């Protein structure tokens, strides 16, 4: 008999059989058995203990902007960190922020404070935790450039303080992607600059995104990592794949590097489309494309 998770975390932070399509920017994904939305580190530790005691698997995510959840959903406990844990503190150009802070919010706050270095992240629709785990980047910047340290817990609830160098941050990669740690907060080092100049750069990046990216349709951003020597968008265009569609999943007609959900896409449609693209790129040009988007859930 399972103990009720609502004994250890407020009932309004728990949802049963919750469609993950409501929690991913792709608007795709079957139900999570138990979705918990903790608002403090203590609640996170309690959930970890609950999962250990009840022998339930755990999946942790931030704002769901880089995940594709399969149609059968996710068994066990799913912990969403992009809704609670929102503290931001700034001292001597060091920025401390909790994992659930939205990158967009953090960009706005540091720009107002006249702190430069995070402009590249304007328009990345994830949480700080997700950005650290993915080493998110754009416009010649990445989290690695500004991150100094990360506070995390392992699945036993033991706390760790990592220096950024220990995380082996690479192109959209870090050791945190192995899923052994939960990021609680991060410290960033930024440089003083004129707030107006920072905001102008951010406006420029936002404009470039809205000119080039299909921001009007649900997606998880770039589907594939950039293969050496190529940009994925032009590559897929060259292969005649722009606009190619399987079910509700389409290679965006605006930017072929994005797969978009045109309405009722299932995860299976996206996966079939990814496979078709990979086979075409391999068959025609001998190029291996690797998804940047993380695939989760029951097969
Ligand atoms: C329109 C659009 C544009 C985008 N543009 C960019 C871009 O320019 N550059 C870029 O790099 N990305 C981009 N992305 C992808 C995405 O926004 C980033 O990867 C973002 O950093 C993911 O953050 P998230 O909170 O949504 O992570 P999620 O999608 O929720 O999770 C991503 C991974 O991180 C793990 N994770 C998340 N939070 C934690 C945590 N606190 N502790 C441990 N593990 C965690 C999850 O398990 C998962 O493996 C874009 C996406 C969209 C939809």
Cα separation, 153 vs 47, whole angstroms? 12
Task: Look at residue 231 in the predicted model and tell me its pLDDT.
Answer: 96
Nearest residue (by CA) to ligand 1, atom 1, is 221
Which residues pair with residue 154 across a beta bridge?
A: 181
The answer to whether the CB of 82 is under 6 A from ligand 1 is yes
Residue 129 has pLDDT above 60, yes or no: yes
Q: Is the distance from the beta carbon of residue 138 to the nearest atom of ligand 1 less than 6 Å?
A: yes
- What domains, with CATH codes, occur in the chain? 5-80 (3.30.43.10), 88-197 (3.30.465.10), 214-296 (3.90.78.10)
Instruction: Report pLDDT for 20.
Output: 98
Nearest Cα residue to 125 out of 265, 220, 267, 203: 220
**Residue 229, pLDDT score:** 93
Whether 62 lines ligand 1, by a CB cut-off of 6 Å, is yes
Q: What is the DSSP letter of 200?
A: H
Among candidate residues 177, 83, 66, 172, the one with its CA nearest the CA of residue 124: 66
186 CB less than 6 Å from ligand 1?
A: no
Q: Ligand 1: distance of its center to the CA of 284 in Å? A: 30
What are the tokens at 10? Answer: 């407020």
> Are the C-beta atoms of 14 and 6 separated by less than 8 Å?
yes
Q: What pairs with residue 37 in β-bridges?
A: none
Average confidence score pLDDT of the chain? 97
For residues 81 and 22, what is the distance between their CA atoms, to the nearest angstrom?
A: 15
Q: How far is the CA of 65 from the centre of ligand 1 (A)?
A: 5
pTM (global) more than 0.85:
yes
């Amino acid at each position: 008999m399972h103990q009720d998770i609502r004994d250890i975390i407020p009932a309004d932070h728990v949802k049963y059989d919750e469609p993950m399509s409501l929690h991913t920017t792709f608007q795709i994904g079957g139900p999570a058995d138990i979705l918990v939305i903790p608002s403090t580190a203590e609640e996170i530790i309690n959930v970890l203990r609950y999962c250990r005691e009840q022998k339930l698997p755990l999946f942790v995510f931030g704002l769901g902007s880089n995940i594709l959840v399969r149609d059968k959903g996710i068994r066990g406990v799913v912990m969403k960190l992009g809704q609670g844990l929102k503290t931001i503190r700034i001292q001597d150009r060091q920025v401390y922020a909790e994992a659930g802070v939205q990158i967009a919010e953090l960009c706005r706050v540091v720009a107002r404070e006249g702190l430069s270095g995070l402009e590249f992240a304007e328009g990345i629709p994830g949480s700080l935790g997700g950005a650290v785990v993915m080493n998110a980047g754009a416009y010649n910047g990445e989290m690695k450039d500004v991150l100094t340290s990360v506070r995390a817990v392992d699945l036993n609830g033991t706390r760790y303080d990592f220096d950024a160098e220990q995380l082996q941050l690479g192109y959209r990669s870090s050791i945190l992607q192995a899923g052994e740690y939960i990021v609680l907060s991060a410290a960033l080092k930024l440089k003083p600059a004129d707030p107006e100049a920072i905001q102008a750069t951010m406006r420029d990046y936002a404009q470039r995104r809205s000119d080039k990216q299909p921001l009007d349709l649900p997606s998880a951003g770039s589907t594939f990592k950039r293969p050496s020597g190529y940009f994925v968008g032009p590559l897929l265009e060259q292969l005649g794949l722009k606009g190619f569609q399987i079910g509700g999943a389409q290679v965006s007609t605006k930017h072929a590097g994005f797969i978009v959900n045109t309405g009722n896409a299932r995860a299976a449609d996206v996966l079939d489309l990814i496979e078709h693209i990979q086979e075409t790129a391999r068959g025609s040009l001998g190029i291996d494309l690797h998804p940047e988007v993380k695939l989760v859930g029951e097969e």
